[in-house]
Amino acid sequence: MLKGLGRIHWKTMYAPPGEFFGFLQKLESHWRESAAVVIHCLMGVGRSALTAACLLAMRGIPVAAAFEVIAKARECPVPDTSEQRSWVESFAKDFIRPRTG
Whether 66 and 73 have beta carbons less than 8 Å apart is answered as no
Contacts 24+ apart (CB under 8 A), 2-7: 4/34, 6/30
pLDDT of residue 55 exceeding 60? yes
Closest CA to 61 of 30, 34, 19, 28: 28
pLDDT band at 1 (very low <50, low <70, confident <90, very high): very low
Compute the average pLDDT of residues 90-97. 87
E strands, 1-101, in order: none
